[in-house]
Structure formats: C-alpha cells, structure tokens
Structure 1
C-alpha cells in the first residue's frame, strides 16, 4: 500500500497510540502519582500501581521488540510480564519505568509512522501478525491497563 493511501490510517494509529481522545493520557495518569501509594494493593484490587506500570512497560517493550527484531525471543507469560514485587524498589525505579514506557511508545509511534514499514505486511518472524495488528495490540493493552491505573489512583486517593 502506498504512503499516500495509508497516511490517514497512520495518523489515526498515532492518535490511538498516544492515547489521544477519549480518556486520560498515560502522562497525566502517572504525573505526581503519590509515592506512598505506588505499591499499595487495596483489598479486591488485582495489582498495585507499580505492578500495572511495570506490566505496561514490559508488554509494550515486548511488542515493540517483536515488531522490529528478527531475532525476537518469546517471553514466558505471566512471569516475564509482571514485576516480582507490588512495590517499586525506589523512586528512581518508578521514574525509569515511566521514561522507558514513554521512550518505547515513541519508538512504536515512529515505526508505525514510517511509510517504509508496510502496515499490512506479515512480520517475517511471526505467525501471521502485521505491524498494524501489533500497533492495535499495544494501544488496546495500554488503554486497558491505563483504565485500571486511573481507577486505582482514584480509589487510593479517596
């Protein structure tokens, strides 16, 4: 498909990946998240904010790696996709995770925006996946867990 034909689709995908539109952005959700609440897992909640942040980062990094790395190696689910602890080891770890998530998201957006990458071509080392599918999986996965993170923050902050 030519670049002229898919420019609009690439723009829409970028909006979706940036979480622009219907809900709060990732940056807004993690901005000033109270440090004392990052490792708290209230009764009935499946995850802490740290676990959600790290899971989002790890999963997005994995999908990005799969999308562009012919030497990609599968991770083991669920162990490789969730942190060992509900609490961040440090303030620096939280900040590193946020920055890495943002960096990987920017790289996924750049991959999708580049007309040299056919959105509809099968990823050679995959089993039928396309860059379009992977971008949609990233957007969907991020939106799902972002909703959990926002709800958790509201619950914890009362």
Structure 2
C-alpha cells in the first residue's frame, strides 16, 4: 500500500477510535456524570454506567494485549470481560478506568501510526485477525457501549 493511502486509512481509523464523527464521544458520554449515577441501576437494564465503562476498558485492554503479545491467552467469555456486579465504583476507581481507557486507546493509535505496523497481515498468534480488524473492533465496540451509556444517562435524567 502506498504511503498516502496508509496515512489516510490510519487517519480514518484514528477518527473512529476517538469517536465523534456521527455521535457523541466516549469522553462526552461520561463527562459531568454525577458520581451517584455511576452505580445507579435502571429497571430492566442488566448493567450500570460504571459496568459499561469498565467493560469498555477491559475489552480494549484485552484487544491491545492480543495485538502486542505473541503469548496472548484469551480471557473467559463473558465473565472476565465484565466487572463484578456486586461492587460499586468509587471516585478513584472511576478516574483510573477513564485514564486507562484513554491510555490504551492512545497506545493502540500509536501502534497504528507506526509505519512498521502491517494493517493487513494476520497476526501470527491469532486465527486470521489483523490490525485493521482489531482497530475496527475497538471502534465498533466502544461506539456501541457509548450509545448505551448515553441511553442510561437519558433514563436517569442526566443527559441534555
């Protein structure tokens, strides 16, 4: 692939990962959320906003690990991709999760921007996955759950 094409593709993937093209960003979805609402259940909804945020963090970290670690071991699905539903998050845990999401996303974007990163060749320790697919997976997954966060905020009366 020629450099301008790769540059354009990486720019579009980065835009997807940062969000905001056709919807609110993750950062907008969690901004100014009153602390008590992070753990507030909504009737007939199987997760809280906190659980969605932590799920995004865990899944993104797992995908990054898969891309970087030739000795990657798959987690148990779905149990190890969701936080313990009996535990509430405190301010320190909330802030740590938000920082980790941003850090891992930046690390993944740096990996995409590295000219040595082949976007199309399957990763040697996978079963056909490549970096392009993993970037799309992170973007799609985060966008889906960001929408759920916004919906929960609406149901809780905390979204304009």
For the aligned pair, the TM-score class normalised by the smaller chain equals over 0.9
Partner of 2:46, secondary structure, is coil
Distance in 1 between residues matched to 2:115 and 2:32, nearest whole Å: 36
Q: What is the TM-score when the length of structure 2 is the normalising length?
A: 0.94
Runs of 4+ in 1 over 6 A off after TM superposition: none
Q: Is the 8 A contact 1:56 1:101 kept in 2?
A: yes
3-state SS of 2:72 partner? coil
Paired position in structure 2 for 1:145 = 145
Mapped to 2, the partners of 1:88 and 1:117 lie a distance apart of 39
Assess if the C-alpha contact under 8 Å between 1:47 and 1:86 holds in 2: no
- Within 5 Å, which residues of 2 pair with 1:11-22? 11-22=11-22
CA distance, structure 1, for counterparts of residue 27 and residue 87 of structure 2? 20
In the alignment, which residue of structure 1 is the partner of 2:84? 84
Instruction: Tell me the secondary structure at the aligned position of residue 112 of structure 2.
Output: helix
- Partner in structure 2 of residue 128 of structure 1: 128
Provide the secondary structure at the position in 2 that maps to 1:157: coil
Q: CA–CA distance in 1 between the matches of 2:64 and 2:20?
A: 20
Report the 3-state secondary structure (helix = DSSP H, G, I; strand = E; otherwise coil) of the residue aligned with 1:94.
helix
Match of residue 58 from structure 1: 58
| Contact in 2 for aligned 1:38/1:48 (Cα 8 Å) | yes
Partners of 2:105 and 2:94 lie apart in 1 by 17
Partner of 1:100: 100
Unaligned runs of 5+ in 2: none
Structure 1's unaligned 5+ residue stretches are none
CA distance in 1, matches of 2:58, 2:155: 25
Deviation sequence 1:25-76 (CA, Å, 0-9, x none) = 1111111211111111111112100100000000000001101111111100
Alignment coverage as a number of residue pairs: 158
Distance in 2 (CA, whole Å) between partners of 1:55 and 1:137 is: 14
Which range moves more in the overlay, 78-87 or 18-27?
78-87
The alignment yields a C-alpha RMSD, in angstroms, of 1.3
User: How high is the TM-score relative to the length of structure 1?
Assistant: 0.95
Inter-partner Cα distance in structure 1 for 2:86 and 2:143: 21
